[in-house]
Amino acid sequence: MEQVMTSLQVFYEGHVQGVGFRFTVRHIAKGFDVTGWVRNLPDGRVEAVFEGDAEGVERLVRWVHTGPGHARVSGVVVADEPVEGLTRFTIV
């Protein structure tokens, strides 16, 4: 069965900077076989792009809703993104 590839852009709000959020997201993404990137934004949010098979991407988005470690996610905005064929997950 062919896997359906998808890509999502996700913005996380709340206490998401200075708590290891990006490093944890990168680690979990690799476990779900999801590529993409994650970065802090100047306004205190974290932006990420998750790319991979639809199931893995959806699992990652659900997992990060709870926030890793000491993070407290208070808002999540998700939008479809064109699939780029990313080959790894990076912290930008």
So what's the pLDDT on residue 65? 83
- 52: domain range? 5-91
Is there a catalytic annotation at residue 88? no
Q: From the candidates 26, 40, 59, 88, which is the catalytic residue? A: 40
So what's the pLDDT on residue 64? 87
Signed CA dihedral, 52, 65, 63, 69: sign only: positive
| Per-residue pLDDT tens over the stretch 22-67 | 999 999 999 999 999 999 999 999 999 999 999 999 999 999 887 7
Q: From the candidates 22, 39, 72, 88, which is the catalytic residue? A: 22
Confidence tier at 1 by pLDDT (50, 70, 90):
low
How far is residue 65 from each of residues 7, 72, 74, measured CA to CA in Å? 17, 9, 9
So what's the pLDDT on residue 2? 63
**% of residues, the chain, pLDDT over 70:** 98
Q: Which domain CATH number covers 64? A: 3.30.70.100
Q: How many domains does the chain have?
A: 1
Tokens of 20: 């290891």
Is there a catalytic annotation at residue 59? no
